[in-house]
């Protein structure tokens, strides 16, 4: 039920007049798009491609680790795979995926016609393929990809080969894309809500993106600073991180993690937002404690600035500082726990059905919480002294980022595919994708907790014999998980090409504006005139 | 009003602007402020360099460039002196055995080295073993020997002289009423020991 623009003269088809079913075609439509739906679609497809690239790198890692000994790749290449798997998954897959959600959903959910800055939106997206090109191309630089870890610590990064410079430029570009995208999102959410939609009536997904966008604008520039300092140390005679010149490598760690810790919440908070839409829809009950969810998310964001050195407990910090960071980190678990309880309370006495989006949302609920618990374990300094740089850490962050953020993204895609494409996905295949992903994910990463507790370090291409069995299990799980995602690709393509036609509102419990006011698929231009919210 | 009454001459963007009541000025103001904020955070990253320098200076953390205080050994109890007396005997051995210094004043916790001279006055090589004893007897546990010729058998050729060290620390728990300690060694002959000099016979091994 789109509000038709009353002055539109449909007889005139010069390019300036795009009606709800008259859109540009071909290269112009995509290369020069200023449409939030098309840009959102491009972000999502881009992120899926990066997910496959990063996934292949992970499978290279797990192939080498399948058995003890060095059989498949050279250690330098292994280190490069570890590094770029991290960079590509974080900056190329998971972050753009949620920006894709933001682009598609924010205007529709607040009753706006498009984002505040449609042309800057285009630039934000099209900066990504060149950045990806740099990251992938870095593998082919002389000396191979930089095997420095995604955290790019000095002094290894200041001494690495030319691939490091390509990587730094890629990060500059990715940072600019994120910052511009975030400025767009904040301006849209603060200035362009439909009349009657106060901030506290906004869907939770929009709140989480408002908060995330502020985090991004605050910390992405700090990362840019850190890698710029690395670049100048490498080529322009500075010595920020070089003790011989009066600098300190630990300074890099502080600057990086000042960005790095809010970054993990930048990844997690939009995932929370998606889950806050999906769970109420399939419980046929409003989100429990909306206001406390908003305050909890804001608290998490603010606290995230104050805990960065829990990544640095073993860097030589005095014990008083370790204690402060330990207490602050434990504190963050409180608002996070509030959110988990509120999701559960939303389901309590709801009328539950378990379609694929809900399955992924429940998988998120349980497994993200597990990942949060292992994070709590790691936050305790004396424990972390044992577990730092072991596979326990690897297990922890894969639980929160894969079983957390990625599962939430899957939930969101299954949930909103009908609105985006006008077609329903195959429910049976969707469930198979869920169960395969769940089983193989846990096979891959649960055993890594034990590897870490037993002392297996991370970022090593070969390991002591006692770690062999669990590494073999983990590698089998990884291949299973990877191939299960091909099923997901098939499901999406099948939906787009031949899915059953979707009703305007396939989920009776979903009540945000895109479900109540727009047809499926949503028209190219929606809410050209804003709806009035009571 | 944009383009007058003829709406079909308006650009797509202008149509959206008017119909959707988009306040471009408010949006641009927001963008300017956020861009300044982002630029500020970029500068903040660089500002962290002098910030950390200052913080580490003020708190004294990890100051590798200029140590603020001279290194002081805090385990030495400079508030009390203990008088050490050194004694040497040979029993059943034709060896001359005496300390280089008969007496010395030390602080508890302070590492001290003293030396003993021993000469084989006989006409054949002999192996001896020094056995320590302490006066008063209960002072023994507080004399912690780090290095001593008494740890090993000593082989002396006929007429050979050796100067041998003892390194010790008086334990800080030394009772307050114990202010004079005598360290006494007695050399005994080791019957049937190998008379071949080996590397292990060195006093410092």
Look at residue B192 in the predicted model and tell me its pLDDT: 75
Q: According to the model, what pLDDT value does residue A364 have?
A: 98
The catalytically annotated residue of A85, A419, A423, A505 is A85
Cα(A397)–Cα(A235) distance, integer angstroms? 33
- Whether A285 is covered by a domain: the verdict is yes
Determine contact: B4 vs chain A, CB below 8 A.
no
Q: Among A4, A16, A185, A241, which would you mutate to test the B interface (most chain B Cβ atoms within 10 Å of its Cβ)?
A: A16
Is A311 tagged catalytic? yes
Instruction: Residue B34: list chain A partners with CB under 8 A.
Output: 182-183, 186-187, 217
The whole-angstrom separation of Cα A387 and Cα B104 is 52
Name the 3-class secondary structure at A145.
Answer: coil
Mean pLDDT of chain B: 84
Distance of alpha carbon A121 from alpha carbon A180, whole angstroms: 8
Confidence at residue A24, expressed as pLDDT on a 0 to 100 scale: 84
Using CA of residue B32, residue B36, residue B41, residue B45, what is the dihedral sign? positive
pLDDT at B56: 83
**Does the N-terminal peptide bond of residue A155 adopt cis geometry, omega within 30 degrees of 0?**
yes
Q: What is the pLDDT of residues B52-96, one digit of tens each?
A: 989 888 887 766 655 556 666 778 888 889 999 999 999 988 999
Contacts of A182 in chain B (CB under 8 A): 34
Would residue A114 count as lying in a domain? yes
Length of chain B: 205
Distance CA A402, CA A406 (A): 5
Question: String of b and e for A446-472 (b: at least 16 CB within 10 Å)?
Answer: bbbbbbbeeebebebbebeeebeebbb
- Does the residue A438 lie in any domain? yes
Per residue in A347-376, pLDDT (tens digit) is 999 999 999 999 999 999 999 999 999 999
Which one of B8, B19, B59 has the shortest CB-CB distance to A9?
Answer: B8
Please say if the pLDDT value at position A55 is more than 50: yes
Query: Rounded mean pLDDT of chain A?
Result: 95
The verdict on residue A525 lying in a domain is: no
Query: Sorting pLDDT into bands at 50, 70 and 90, what band is A128?
Result: very high
Q: What is the spatial distance between Cα B96 and Cα A102, in angstroms, rounded to a whole number?
A: 95
Residue B17 pLDDT greater than 90, yes or no: no
Average pLDDT, stretch A274-296? 98
pLDDT at B118: 94
At A345, which CATH number? 1.20.210.10
Q: B69: alpha, beta or left, given left = phi > 0 and alpha = psi -120 to 50? A: beta
Cβ pair B35:A183 closer than 8 A: yes
Q: Is the pLDDT of residue A4 over 50?
A: no
Output the DSSP codes for A202-223: S-HHHHHHHHHHHHHHHHHHHH
In sequence order, the β-bridge partners of residue B84 are: B104, B181
**pLDDT band at residue B12, thresholds of 50, 70 and 90?**
low
Q: How far apart are CA A133 and CA A357, in angstroms?
A: 32
- Minimal CA separation from B88 to chain A, in Å: 50
* Complete DSSP assignment for A413-475: HHHHHHHHHSEE--HHHHHHHHHHHHHHHHHHHHHHHHHHHTTPBSS-SS--GGGHHHHHHHH
The pLDDT of residue A395 is above 90: yes
Closest alpha carbon to A227 in A261, A260, A262: A260
Per-residue pLDDT for A131 more than 70? yes
Lookup: tokens for A394: 């690897």
B161-194: pLDDT as tens digits: 999 999 999 988 888 888 999 999 999 998 877 6
Give the number of domains in chain A.
Answer: 1
**Mean pLDDT computed over A171-200:** 97
The reply to whether A85 belongs to the active site is yes
Q: What would the pLDDT profile of A12-33 be if each residue is shown by its tens digit?
A: 333 333 344 578 888 889 999 9
Percent with pLDDT over 70 in chain A: 96
| Residue A60 contacts B, CB cutoff 8 Å | no
> For this structure, is A261 an active site residue?
yes
- Beta-carbon separation of B41 and A191 below 8 A: no
The secondary structure of residue A91, as a DSSP letter, is: I
In a domain, A194, yes or no: yes
Shortest alpha-carbon distance between residue A343 and chain B (Å): 32
Residue B52 in contact with partner chain A when CB distance is under 8 A: yes
CB A519 within 8 A of CB A2: yes
Query: Among this protein's residues, is A178 annotated catalytic?
Result: yes
Which is catalytic among the residues A276, A304, A374, A526?
A276
Active-site pick, A285, A311, A396, A398: A311
CB of A275 within 8 A of CB of A364?
A: yes
Evaluate whether residue A533 is within a structural domain.
Answer: no
The per-residue pLDDT for A5 is: 37
Answer yes or no: do B27 and A191 touch at CB < 8 A: yes
Half-sphere exposure (Cβ direction) of B170: Cα atoms closer than 13 Å: 27
Residue B59: its pLDDT value, please?
A: 82
Decide if A118 is inside a domain: yes
Domain span at A508: 29-516
pTM: 0.79
Per the CB < 8 Å rule, is B45 touching A9?
no
Out of B20, B42, B43, name the one closest to residue A113 (CB).
B20
Q: Can you list the pairs that A445-448 forms with residues at least 24 positions away whose Cβ atoms lie under 8 Å?
A: A445/A394, A445/A395, A445/A398, A445/A399, A445/A402, A445/A403, A445/A474, A445/A477, A446/A395, A447/A473, A447/A474, A447/A477, A448/A391, A448/A392, A448/A394, A448/A395, A448/A398, A448/A474
Any B CB within 8 A of A220 CB: yes
pLDDT score for A217: 98
Contact A164, A233 (CB under 8 A): no
> Which residue in the list A126, A150, A153, A324 is annotated as catalytic?
A150
Task: Tell me, yes or no, if B46 comes closer than 8 A to chain A by beta carbon.
Answer: yes
- Report the alpha-carbon angle A44-A500-A518, nearest 5: 65
- What does the DSSP 8-state code read for residue A505? -
ipTM: 0.89
Q: A258 pLDDT exceeds 50?
A: yes
pLDDT 10s digits, B125-150? 999 999 999 989 889 889 999 999 99
User: A23 in a domain, yes or no?
Assistant: no
């Amino acid at each position: 039920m789109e509000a038709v623009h009353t002055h539109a003269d449909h007889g005139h088809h010069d390019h300036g007049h795009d009606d709800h079913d008259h859109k540009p075609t071909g290269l112009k439509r995509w290369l020069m798009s200023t449409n939030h739906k098309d840009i959102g679609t491009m972000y999502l497809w881009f992120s899926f491609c990066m997910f496959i690239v990063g996934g292949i790198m992970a499978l290279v890692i797990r192939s080498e680790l399948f058995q003890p000994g060095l059989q498949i790749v050279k250690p330098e290449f292994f280190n490069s795979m570890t590094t770029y798997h991290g960079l590509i998954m974080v900056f190329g897959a998971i972050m753009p995926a949620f920006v894709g959600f933001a682009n598609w959903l924010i205007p529709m959910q607040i009753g706006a016609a498009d984002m505040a800055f449609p042309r800057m939106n285009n630039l934000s997206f099209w900066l990504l393929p060149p950045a990806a090109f740099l990251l992938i191309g870095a593998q082919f630089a002389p000396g191979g990809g930089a095997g420095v870890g995604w955290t790019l610590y000095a002094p290894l990064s200041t001494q690495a080969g030319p691939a490091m410079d390509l990587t730094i430029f890629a990060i500059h570009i990715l940072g600019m894309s994120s910052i511009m995208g975030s400025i767009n999102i904040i301006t849209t959410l603060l200035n362009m809500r439909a009349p009657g939609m106060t901030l506290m009536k906004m869907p939770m997904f929009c709140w989480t993106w408002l908060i995330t966008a502020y985090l991004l604008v605050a910390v992405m520039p700090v990362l840019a600073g850190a890698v710029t300092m690395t670049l100048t140390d490498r080529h322009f005679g500075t010595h920020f991180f070089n003790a011989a010149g009066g600098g300190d490598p630990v300074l890099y760690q502080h600057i990086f993690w000042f960005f790095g810790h809010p970054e993990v919440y930048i990844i997690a908070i939009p995932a929370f937002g998606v889950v806050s839409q999906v769970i109420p829809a399939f419980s046929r009950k409003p989100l429990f404690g909306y206001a406390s969810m908003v305050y909890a998310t804001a608290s998490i964001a603010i606290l995230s600035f104050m805990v960065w050195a829990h990544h640095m407990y073993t860097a030589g910090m005095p014990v008083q500082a370790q204690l402060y960071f330990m207490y602050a980190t434990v504190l963050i678990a409180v608002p996070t726990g509030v959110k988990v309880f509120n999701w559960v309370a939303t389901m309590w006495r709801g009328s539950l059905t378990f379609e694929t989006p809900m399955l992924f949302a429940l998988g998120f609920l349980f497994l993200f919480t597990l990942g949060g618990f292992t994070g709590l374990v790691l936050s305790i300094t004396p424990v972390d002294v044992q577990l730092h740089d072991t596979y326990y850490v690897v297990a922890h962050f894969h639980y929160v980022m894969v079983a957390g953020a990625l599962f939430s993204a899957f939930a969101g895609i299954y949930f909103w595919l009908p609105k985006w494409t006008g077609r329903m996905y195959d429910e049976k295949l969707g469930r198979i994708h869920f169960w395969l992903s769940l089983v193989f994910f846990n096979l891959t990463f649960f055993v890594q907790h034990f590897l870490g507790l037993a002392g297996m370090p991370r970022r090593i291409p070969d390991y002591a014999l006692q770690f062999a069995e669990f590494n073999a299990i983990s590698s089998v799980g990884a291949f299973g998980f990877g191939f299960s995602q091909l099923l997901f690709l098939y499901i999406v393509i099948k939906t787009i090409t031949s899915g059953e036609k979707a009703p305007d509102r396939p989920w009776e419990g979903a009540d945000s504006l895109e479900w109540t006011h727009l047809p499926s698929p949503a028209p190219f231009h929606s809410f050209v005139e804003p709806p009035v919210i009571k | 009003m944009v383009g007058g009454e003829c709406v079909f001459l308006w650009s797509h963007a202008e149509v959206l602007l008017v119909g959707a009541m988009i306040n471009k000025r408010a949006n641009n103001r927001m963008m300017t402020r956020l861009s300044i904020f982002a630029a500020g955070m970029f500068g903040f990253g660089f500002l962290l360099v002098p910030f950390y320098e200052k913080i580490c200076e003020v708190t004294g953390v990890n100051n590798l460039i200029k140590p603020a205080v001279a290194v002081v050994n805090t385990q030495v109890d400079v508030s009390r002196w203990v008088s050490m007396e050194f004694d040497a005997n040979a029993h059943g051995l034709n060896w001359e055995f005496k300390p280089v210094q008969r007496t010395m004043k030390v602080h508890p916790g302070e590492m001290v080295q003293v030396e003993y001279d021993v000469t084989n006055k006989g006409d054949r090589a002999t192996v001896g073993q020094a056995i320590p004893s302490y006066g008063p007897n209960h002072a023994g546990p507080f004399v912690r020997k780090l290095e001593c010729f008494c740890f090993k058998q000593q082989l002396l050729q006929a007429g050979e002289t050796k100067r041998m060290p003892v390194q010790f620390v008086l334990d800080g728990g030394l009772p307050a009423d114990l202010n004079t300690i005598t360290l006494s060694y007695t050399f005994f002959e080791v019957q049937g020991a190998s008379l071949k000099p080996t590397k292990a016979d060195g006093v410092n091994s």
